[in-house]
């Protein structure tokens, strides 16, 4: 279920994009699931068609959905590829943490700080 909070400082397109992304990542929306049409979802949520269209475009650019012309938009298998990349990155990170002797609690704090700082650029070696 998608809910848009009109009082939120987060723009509606971003609320929509984030909720769909979360549902795709936690598999509430399975690979191959058809999303509502842009016009239908815009009407249901009381949003402009362009607002919903922007959220869908960003989801497509992230590889989470694919649009098949008149057939509609569907959850992409590429979302699973992203999950696998995250698993590999986590395994690599765990190996680095173990090699430098950082304990689990500190390793988790480092990840949380990175996630909340918005610093998502890959580190240079």
Tens digit of pLDDT for each residue in 16-44?
A: 999 999 999 888 999 999 999 999 999 99
Looking at the fold, whether 33 and 53 belong to one and the same domain comes out as: yes
Q: How far apart are CA 91 and CA 71, in angstroms?
A: 38
Tokens 């959905």 appear where?
65
User: Do 37 and 68 fall into the same domain?
Assistant: yes
pLDDT tens-digit profile of 67-89?
Answer: 998 999 999 987 677 778 888 99
Same domain, yes or no, for 37 and 67? yes
Looking at the fold, whether 94 and 72 belong to one and the same domain comes out as no
pLDDT (mean) for 37-58: 97
CB neighbours of residue 12 within 10 Å? 19
Same domain, 32 and 52: yes
Q: Which domain holds residue 110?
A: 79-117
In a domain, 71, yes or no: yes
State the residue for tokens 């580190």: 123
Reduced to 3 states, what is the DSSP secondary structure of residue 75? strand
CA atoms within 13 A on the CB side of 30: 1
Residues 19, 44: one domain?
A: yes
């Amino acid at each position: 279920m998608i809910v848009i909070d009109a009082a939120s400082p987060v723009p509606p397109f971003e609320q929509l994009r984030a909720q769909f992304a979360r549902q795709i990542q936690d598999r509430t929306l399975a690979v191959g699931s058809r999303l509502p049409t842009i016009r239908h979802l815009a009407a249901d949520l009381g949003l402009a068609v362009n607002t919903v269209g922007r959220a869908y475009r960003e989801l497509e650019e992230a590889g989470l959905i694919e649009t098949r012309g008149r057939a509609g938009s569907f959850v992409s298998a590429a979302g699973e590829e992203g999950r696998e990349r995250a698993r590999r990155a986590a395994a690599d990170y765990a190996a680095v943490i173990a090699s430098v002797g950082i304990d689990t609690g500190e390793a988790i704090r480092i990840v949380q700080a990175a996630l909340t700082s918005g610093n998502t650029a890959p580190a240079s070696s």
